[in-house]
Amino acid sequence: MLLRVFQAPSVAEAIARVAAELGEQAVIVATREDRTGVTVTASAPDRGIDLEKLLRADLPEPDTARIQDALRWHETEPGLLQRILAAVRAERWQDPVQALGQALPAVLPFSELTVPAGALVVAGPNGAGKSVTVAKLATALVLADRRPRVLSADAGRAGGLAQLADLLRPLQIQPGGLDPRGLASDGLAPGELDEGGPVLVDSQGVNPFETEEMMRLAELASSLRAEILLVLPAGLSAGESADIAQNFAAIGCRRMVVSRLDNARRLGGVLAAAEAGPALAAAGIGPVIGSGLKPLSAIGLARLLMSRTEAGEVR
């Protein structure tokens, strides 16, 4: 038996695609609907591999026109758009979402969001959603039976530590302060803790275009022997996002979380940031802590990019 997955804006269109590709003997085994559309899993008798067809040089190209229109709507930087389309043509998938999902990793870096055993400094521009991201990471760790220690390097800001404490209260985690030297309020650096568990650091917001602020952030991470995780808000222009990501990559940042994905329509900035700097690892959708961070895979990003109409509505 052959199992195939089809994505479409509606059930009727998904069923039509099943019939067109798998024939009258196809059987629908699962259907799932969400705000991006409908996903249908169907099975059909395995007719074997058509080697002659695979070896032909004149196979039809993917629906690059639809993909190109979507990427242009998202205000994707022209050079990046052409590189993505070249990768799409190389993949030879007929379904636009599958074609784009298979092509994106050839152009942009993707990564899993894992929390190291040591310290993780959550950083980004002012107002990017760092504290909410820390709380979501802490929730995931608690659920995985890896209770973290949480520290705030933003304790000097009025209400900074109190806001983080409010977010962590349901987890019964009391955050501590962290000074610029990397010393916690109890005088210990995270690397000196006896417990050896994960440490999440809510860093002070930085201006990514101020060298001194970025160097202080790099020094803080170095003193903690910590990885820097960028929180980048969606909805910024491609140029702005690329510059921010590039500057964070310059101080050793390797992964990023895209925040405020629910408040942005055009995602050309997200694509530009990934090409310029850290790998796409996860997405933050809304302020609800319990919803957690969602993995940002290539196929998931492709679905999101292709689900927008010219009016900016999710189909």
Ranges of H-type helices in the chain: 11-22, 51-55, 64-73, 78-91, 96-103, 130-143, 160-168, 211-224, 238-250, 268-276, 298-306
Radius of gyration, CA atoms only, the chain = 22
Q: Biggest alpha carbon distance in the chain?
A: 71
pLDDT of residue 116: 84
Q: Where are the domains of the chain?
A: 1-56, 119-296
CA-CA distance, 73 to 202, in Å (whole number)? 35
Helices 64-73, 298-306: axis angle to 10 degrees equals 80
pLDDT of residue 313: 44
- Grouped pLDDT means (10 residues each) for the chain, 315 residues: 77 80 77 84 68 54 84 96 92 82 94 88 93 94 92 71 89 86 68 71 93 94 93 95 96 95 92 95 83 88 80 42
pLDDT of residue 183: 72
The listed CATH number (3.10.130.10, 3.40.50.300, 3.20.20.150, 3.30.465.10) that belongs to domain 119-296? 3.40.50.300
pLDDT of residue 314: 40
**Token digits for 171?**
């987890």
